[in-house]
Amino acid sequence: MSTTCAPHDQHEHAHGPDCGHETVQHDDHVDYVHDGHRHAEHGDHYDEH
Q: In the prediction, which pLDDT does 23 show? A: 92
pTM of this structure: 0.64
Q: Exposed, middle or buried: residue 41 (CB in 10 Å: 0-12, 13-18, 19+)? A: middle
The Cα 29–Cα 10 span in angstroms is: 21
Task: Work out the average pLDDT over 19-35.
Answer: 88
For residue 38, is pLDDT > 60? yes
Percent of the chain with pLDDT over 70: 76
Residue range 2-25, pLDDT digits in tens = 455 655 566 667 778 888 889 999
**13-19 LR contacts (CB < 8 Å, sep 24+):** 15/39, 15/41, 15/46
